[in-house]
Structure 1
Amino acid sequence: MLKVRNLEAGYGKLRVLKRISLHVNPGEIVTLIGANGAGKTTLLSTITGLVRASAGEILLQDREISREKPEKIVAMGCSLVPEGRQVFVTMTVQENLVMGGYIQHKKGNRAFMQELDNIYQLFPVLQERREQLAGTLSGGEQQMLAMGRALMAQPSLIMLDEPSTGLAPLIVKNIFEIITRMRENGNTVLLIEQNAKAALKIADRGYVLETGKIILEGPAEALLANRDVQRAYLGRDLGQS
């Protein structure tokens, strides 16, 4: 589904990503964990074309996309749920969702409105609030709206940047259940998440990013059991009682 090879990117003279290589297979949930400033958001921004790669390649379903514009990448099947939700606060819930499906509508996809019904089934609260301004929703509802908006583009790959940030534990649990359902509904997921324990519990595989480099990768269960990962990201140590 996604292959990243020797990717480098940054901002001006600041080199953030340093020869990053990773892959996401169809039907997987893959999580990327790391401290603030490790380069996680820059990686997603580069994959989606918001930041230009300076070296390396990005393949989406075997098609090179590192020089494509963001709207073309969305049309090719890759959607991003950005950090901080970034919903259109002065528009209604339904208007936000319709905006998310603009590419499919432009392509003349007749299943456009059917996808709206699917989103409402996945997020019943959004249907209840469909005429409400997005800016008046709770943080958890705005996160669901951002996820629903991304799904309206009918992506093969959906990438989520810190979906649990600022949310209450019960809402976080609900968000992660929905991410699992996304995979069950046919989406492939690349997840960036500060809550490493919760992310690794639902993921198939994971990568650990540190100062712009992948320093560790493997099955999610193995990373959960890794002493260094536990000490650095899970807040505990196997050697501690």
Structure 2
Amino acid sequence: MLRIRNLVSGYGKIKVLKNVSMHVDPGEIVTILGANGAGKTTLLSTIAGLVRANSGEAEFKSNNILKIKASAIPGLGCVMVPEGRQVFAAMTVEENLLLGGHAVQKQGRKVLTALLEHQYELFPILRDRKDQLAGTLSGGEQQMLAMGRALMSKPSLVMMDEPSTGLAPLIVKEIFQIIVRLRDEGNTVLLVEQNAKAALGIADRGYVLETGKIIVQGPAEDLLANKDVQRAYLGREK
């Protein structure tokens, strides 16, 4: 579904990603691990078209997304749930969700209504809060809203940037259960996450990014058993 080859990207003269190559197959949860500043957010932002690549290739379902405007990428089925939620605080929950469905509006009101109902079924608290201003929601509720807003475009690939940041452990557990459900419903997930143990616990495969380079990759269970990964990201060593 997604294939990246020798991707170099960054900000101005600063190269953050240095020849990154990776892939995501349909129906997988793939996690990207790494310390702050490793380039994880830059990687997702480059795929989403928010940061322009310097060189390399990035294909999403055979489309060269490095040549496509960021505003057109969700219409191809690739969406990003940004770090820090970034909901529209002055709009209601339902208005935020409907805004997320902009890419599918041409398919008709019936499709949009069905998508809205699915988000309320997936996140029941959003139905209870649908007329509430998004800025008044708790952090966990805002994270669910950000996820639901992205899912309103009927994506095939959902990229999530640090969905557990700042949330209570019980809410984190619920968020990760929802991510697994998304995969079980046929979605593909590319997950950037600081909580390495939780991410590897639900992922099929993972990559470790360090100073802009992939240094370790493999099945999630192999990364959980890797002593270097344990020492750096899991706080333990067998």
| 1:76 match | 76
SS in 1 for 2:67: coil
Checking the alignment, whether the CA contact within 8 Å between 1:52 and 1:67 is kept in structure 2 is: no
| 1:118 match | 118
Q: Offset at 1:113?
A: 1.3
1:160 aligned partner, one-letter code: M
2:114 aligned partner, one-letter code: Q
Structure 2 CA distance for aligned equivalents of residues 56 and 107 of structure 1: 34
Instruction: Name whichever of 203-212 and 53-62 sits farther off.
Output: 53-62
Instruction: Name whichever of 228-237 and 64-73 sits farther off.
Output: 64-73
Q: Which has the higher helix share?
A: 2
Q: Equivalent residues in 2 for 1:1-241 (5 A)?
A: 1-106=1-106, 108=108, 110-238=110-238
Structure 1 CA distance for aligned equivalents of residues 61 and 13 of structure 2: 31
Q: Structure 1 vs Structure 2: percent identity of aligned residues?
A: 68
Q: Offset at 1:25?
A: 0.3
Q: Offset at 1:106?
A: 3.9
1:144 aligned partner, one-letter code: M
Structure 2 CA distance for aligned equivalents of residues 200 and 152 of structure 1: 26
SS in 2 for 1:154: coil
Structure 1 CA distance for aligned equivalents of residues 224 and 158 of structure 2: 23
SS in 1 for 2:35: coil
CA displacement, residues 72-118 of structure 1 (integer Å, 9 cap, x when unaligned): 11100001000000000000000000000011114547412100000
Structure 2 CA distance for aligned equivalents of residues 107 and 121 of structure 1: 21
Query: How many residue pairs were aligned?
Result: 238
Structure 2 CA distance for aligned equivalents of residues 197 and 13 of structure 1: 34
CA displacement, residues 41-99 of structure 1 (integer Å, 9 cap, x when unaligned): 00000000000011011100111111111121110000100000000000000000000
1:65 aligned partner, one-letter code: I
1:195 aligned partner, one-letter code: N
SS in 1 for 2:104: helix
Structure 1: gaps (5+ residues): none
RMSD: 0.9
Structure 2 CA distance for aligned equivalents of residues 182 and 70 of structure 1: 24
CA displacement, residues 120-169 of structure 1 (integer Å, 9 cap, x when unaligned): 00000000100000000000000000000000011000000000000000
Instruction: Name whichever of 65-74 and 94-103 sits farther off.
Output: 65-74
Structure 2 CA distance for aligned equivalents of residues 107 and 59 of structure 1: 25
CA displacement, residues 181-218 of structure 1 (integer Å, 9 cap, x when unaligned): 01111110000000000000000000000000000000
Checking the alignment, whether the CA contact within 8 Å between 1:5 and 1:57 is kept in structure 2 is: yes
2:68 aligned partner, one-letter code: E
Structure 1 CA distance for aligned equivalents of residues 31 and 16 of structure 2: 19
2:235 aligned partner, one-letter code: G
1:168 aligned partner, one-letter code: A
Structure 2: gaps (5+ residues): none
SS in 2 for 1:111: helix
- TM-score, normalised relative to structure 1: 0.97
Instruction: Name whichever of 224-233 and 100-109 sits farther off.
Output: 100-109
2:73 aligned partner, one-letter code: I
